[in-house]
Amino acid sequence: MDILLQVIITGVATGGVYGLIALGYVLIYKATSILNLATGSFMTLGAFVCLTILTGSGAPFWVALLGTLAFAFVLGIIVERVILRQLIGEPIISVIMVTIGLAFVVQGLTHLIWSPDYRSFPEIFPPEPLDLNFAIVPSGLLWGFMFALIGTIIFILIFKFTRTGVAMRATANDQQAALSMGISVRWIFALSWSFGAIAAVIGGIVIGNISGISIYMGDIGLKVLAVIILGGLDSIGGAILGGLIIGILENLTGIYIDPLVGGGAKAVAPFFILVIILMIRPYGLFGKEIIERV
């Protein structure tokens, strides 16, 4: 078996999960121009809610998943209407700082309710890996990639082909024009936060199933932040491609570079490539270049 092919396939599976979580950032940013730095905490909260439904009620995984998605939808609406809507017209840095504060509040509540103990999901998927002959995909990564792929396709279909998606795109392009066409921009803002929360909690469930959950698993949100900046803050396609690039790069670095430097290169690699890309394309690979005239 070619080790390079194995590393690339594993990187693609990992990158697909990163891309899904990155969608949580992009969907909110496209409609509201707000970078939600609480996405990692939403991931953690969603994973704990899903685990609680699974273990507390003995419900099947699909019931727990639907319950968690409903929770995420309501969470997004509450956050937008109760917190973010009060900040309309405020400097963008103030709004971003509020999302940072929200991240710590959610993390603190998660700590208070579930404690910082590490937990693992019960076995919800078949444990057999996928043998491609030239590479083997572990069960956790395989099912995680499948969830990420399905979730990404659903979000793209909604965004491209539904009335709601058209309204979200119109709002993202020009809020004043969207208002003049009878689109409720405030409702689109709330819906964007709900979709972002749903993408985040699906990512949290996937990551939790692969490696277990703790109140600190949301730290992966920092890595996903590198993904969306790499792909472009307002680009859905860029989020997916950025996730794949970071996933493959991480795995290649872990195999070929870490042994040479004694470890640690894998954690730094996403940010290293990020700096290089931004030096060449400051708006990311597919980000929309904004020209300001003064």
- State the Cα–Cα distance between residues 154 and 157, nearest whole angstrom: 5
177-208 tens-digit pLDDT: 888 888 888 888 888 889 889 988 988 888 88
Give 213's strand partners: 119
What is the pLDDT at residue 264? 79
244-287 tens-digit pLDDT: 888 888 888 888 888 888 777 888 888 888 788 778 877 777 76
Give 7's strand partners: none
Domain ranges of the chain: 3-280
Structure tokens at 26: 């992009």
| DSSP symbols for 72-135 | HHHHHHHIIIIIGGGGTTS-HHHHHHHHHHHHHHHHHHHHHHH-S--B-----S--PPEE-SS-
- List, for the chain, all residue ranges whose pLDDT scores fall below the cut of 50: none
Amino acid in position 174:
D
**With a threshold of 0.85, does the pTM exceed it?**
yes
- State the Cα–Cα distance between residues 238 and 90, nearest whole angstrom: 28
Give the strand pairing for 130-131 and 136-137. antiparallel
For residues 85 and 98, is the Cβ–Cβ distance under 8 A?
no
What is the pLDDT at residue 287? 66
Burial class (CB in 10 A: 0-12, 13-18, 19+), 288: middle
What is the pLDDT at residue 289? 63
For residues 25 and 228, is the Cβ–Cβ distance under 8 A?
yes
> Residue 130: what are its φ and ψ, rounded to 5°?
-95, 120
